[in-house]
A = this chain, B = another copy of it.
Amino acid sequence: MSFAHHAEQTDEPSSAIENYVKAIYGLEARRDGAVSTTALATRLGLRAGSVSAMIKKLNALGIVEHTRYHGVQLTDSGERIALKVIRKHRLLELFLVETLGLPWDRVDHEAEVLEHHLSDELAALIAEKLGQPTHDPHGDPIPTAEGTVSEGETVALETLEPGASGTFVRVSDSEPAMLRYLAERRIYPGAHFEVVDRQPFAGPLSVRFDNSIQSLGGGLARAMRCEPQDAAADRHVTPAEEARA
């Protein structure tokens, strides 16, 4: 419960601010604790100086907590902003796939722009039209309008041993080439699989999906997040699954 002796956030945050906040949110997840200026700069493709200036501003707006030379953390207010944008992003991704039939490897790019300009009202209508979905086409959970997310525990496909089976649950939306590759092989989040074989020295895995056996290695097997069989019991059916059912 942060006291607001600083400036309070009333009007809509700018696109730039939303992008910073999203990036901070994403980085906080991995390296727990504070997010460094350089990490942010790298993530956003900006220079450290620019980021430093923006951090000062975000701090003044009460969006981040900043301790000089030791990085930033989102405040509650900042986290609300992040979750709102992420919700819009993921709703848009699903909407573009479901309603307009845009290939899933291109929705991220479009959503990246539109998320900043979609009103709350339209977001609500889209969510309604899609039946209050819980996951986007890539398996990422969609935060609720109230700002709660359920990030499930997942492991990289890469880490599984031969004999293991489970469910492919999510994959990064920002790798069009990977997504095209998966789509060509009809591999989507929600798919069950069994690891058949695994070559030594971090080599590719042989993985059986419904009928086909695929060889998946390198970045792909690292990017594909899975739930092993045991833990997979209580998973929801993803919207992507529903749609293709």
- For chain A, residues 117 to 154, give those with C-beta under 8 angstroms from any C-beta of chain B: 117-119, 121-122, 125-126, 129
| A96-B122, A122-B96 known; A113+B102 contact, CB < 8 A | no
Chain B residues contacting A106 (CB-CB under 8 Å) are 121
Contact yes or no, A117 B113, CB < 8 A: yes
Can you tell how many copies of this chain the complex includes?
2
Chain B residues contacting A96 (CB-CB under 8 Å) are 122
Q: Which residue of B lies closest to A99 (CB)?
A: B99
* A residues neighboring B (CB under 8 Å): 96, 99-102, 106, 110, 113-114, 116-119, 121-122, 125-126, 129
Contact yes or no, B117 A102, CB < 8 A: no
Which of B100, B116, B117, B129 sits near A122, CB closer than 8 Å? B100
In the assembled complex, the Cα of A122 lies from the Cα of B110 at a distance in Å of: 8
Q: Which residue of B lies closest to A109 (CB)?
A: B119
Chain B residues contacting A99 (CB-CB under 8 Å) are 99, 129
Chain B residues contacting A119 (CB-CB under 8 Å) are 110, 113
In the assembled complex, the Cα of A153 lies from the Cα of B139 at a distance in Å of: 51
Q: Which residue of B lies closest to A115 (CB)?
A: B117
Contact yes or no, B114 A100, CB < 8 A: no
Most buried by B among A96, A116, A121: A121
In the assembled complex, the Cα of A103 lies from the Cα of B175 at a distance in Å of: 37
Contact yes or no, B114 A102, CB < 8 A: no
Q: Which residue of B lies closest to A113 (CB)?
A: B117
Q: Which residue of B lies closest to A15 (CB)?
A: B117
Q: What are 23 A-B residue pairs whose CB atoms fall within 8 Å in the complex?
A: A96-B122, A99-B99, A99-B129, A100-B122, A100-B125, A100-B126, A100-B129, A101-B125, A101-B129, A102-B121, A102-B122, A102-B125, A106-B121, A110-B119, A110-B121, A110-B122, A113-B117, A113-B119, A114-B114, A114-B117, A114-B118, A116-B117, A117-B117
The 9 tightest CB contacts between A and B, nearest first, are A100-B125, A117-B117, A113-B117, A114-B117, A100-B129, A110-B122, A110-B119, A102-B125, A99-B99
Known contacts A110-B121, A110-B122; 18 additional CB pairs below 8 A are A99-B99, A99-B129, A100-B122, A100-B125, A100-B126, A100-B129, A101-B125, A101-B129, A102-B121, A102-B122, A102-B125, A106-B121, A110-B119, A113-B117, A114-B114, A114-B117, A114-B118, A116-B117
In the assembled complex, the Cα of A101 lies from the Cα of B117 at a distance in Å of: 19
